[in-house]
Structure 1
């Protein structure tokens, strides 16, 4: 009888922790499927930019557009693994049918002395994206230097439609290196969470066994 309470406590705790770990494994399977779908969508054949794109339905949609780069735009402070701080270059493309579209051309590293924007006729291939990078702590823009990509605000500042083409190829090329959309930035930590929960279940089991051993020692 003296082992009943610690046994119930141990079984209940282990059951809860194992169920949490199992749930994270199910989430891992779901997230891997979602990432595979995103990767397939990103790599699909490009189409013309829709007349009225939807930020949810058309996210990551591969597109092509031709027109004239304005030679002006905004720089966004960003960071890239293995490279460090960079500037993203956001400009506008006036298409031959009269639309003005935002284009993320890519980046130059911070040591580059060239802060100019390309100008002239180009063909841009990339993906539509509406990145969610702003929060209450994001500083306000400092002139043409921004600290996050805010598509509606950038579109208003540059007189463009509220959509962003993140280029993966610009022909002809320039000194700006494309930084294409990918699924790498989407967090997928479910395996680590599952290992944590299962590890805690083992610790709980060890603590339960130790408690029962202590009870046995006291009553021996």
Structure 2
């Protein structure tokens, strides 16, 4: 009986821990969905004018509308778009009607349109402020000679283009040949449901294995 009691306690304790982890992930899922809903609401809000100063954490995703002039110098960020393939994000300097210089992520062009001339001059741009977190220890340094970047490094790009360190990701089209890639929450990971399913599945397997060992131990005791 001592062995059976040990197996029962061990099995129930392990199952309780695994179920607890699953419940925690369900709670995290509800929290993350709330965060994503709040970000979606912020992204879709009515645009405002360009703030006088910027705070990357507080102003991330802020919708803005600016009027001014799209300038000619561009930086190209290598990306891949689902069902389209490889291409580039076009990052260009934009001078507002008040004389401020910021960057605009105009959107996506295929690889063969990398150096195609695009519309410049006076235009209105609607989009969202963004400071992407795309740099990690594996990100290659930009190929300056080939004008190819591998992530949107806002401070470094601002230095290269001579602008304020702020990026407007365009929602409006700034050129017929450029497809806008507006900000959304699709790139924010939300794997809590998968984690919850994993923990609950492990709990079920743990219970089944515990029942099996209990059955075998009891059968041996009675034989």
TM-score interval for Structure 1 and Structure 2 normalised by the shorter chain: over 0.9
Aligned residue in 2 for 1:167: 170
Q: Matched residues in 1 for 2:93 and 2:176: separation? A: 15
Q: State whether structure 2 residue 211 is matched by structure 1 residue 209.
A: yes
TM-score by length of 1: 0.96
1:105-184 aligned at under 5 Å gives the runs 105-112=106-113, 114-143=115-144, 144-170=147-173, 173-184=175-186
* Contact map agreement 1:91 1:117 (CA 8 A) in 2: no
CA distance in structure 2 between the partners assigned to 1:90 and 1:114 by the alignment: 13
Q: CA RMSD in A?
A: 1.2
* Equivalent runs, 1:1-220 vs 2, <5 Å: 1=1, 2-112=3-113, 114-143=115-144, 144-170=147-173, 173-220=175-222
Q: Distance in 2 between matches of 1:133 and 1:189?
A: 19
**TM-score relative to the length of structure 2:** 0.95
Q: Residue 39 of structure 2: SS of its match in structure 1?
A: helix
- Counterparts of 1:116 and 1:27, CA distance in 2: 47
SS in 1 for 2:71: strand
More strand by share: 1
Alpha-carbon distance in structure 1 between the residues aligned to 2:114 and 2:132: 27
Q: 2 CA distance for matches of 1:190 and 1:147?
A: 29
**Structure 1 gap ranges (5+):** none
Secondary structure of 2:172's aligned partner: strand
Unaligned runs of 5+ residues in structure 2 are none
Larger CA deviation: 79-88 vs 158-167: 79-88
